[in-house]
Amino acid sequence: IIVTIKVSITMAGRELSGLVMKTIWLLYFFLLCFTICTAQVFSRRHPEDKYPHMKPWRDVYCSYYPQRC
């Protein structure tokens, strides 16, 4: 009985870690989409003075989509 409990705990732990990894990837993907969307909005108005922290994202965005900058 103890062995089966240990095995079930290990299986639950694996499933949990898999779920955590999926959640992290989902958050990362969402963040990536969000930054690309904000870069699209910001690249139209050139607000480097107002938002200096967005400039690196804008540089990355412009290197991928130079025709929009």
Angle at 62 between CA 58 and CA 65, to 5 degrees: 135
According to the model, what pLDDT value does residue 63 have?
Answer: 81
> Which is more confidently placed, 51 or 67?
67
According to the model, what pLDDT value does residue 66 have?
Answer: 76
**Cα 26 to chain centroid, rounded:** 7
Q: Each residue of 7-50: pLDDT tens digit?
A: 787 888 888 888 898 999 999 999 888 887 777 776 666 555 55
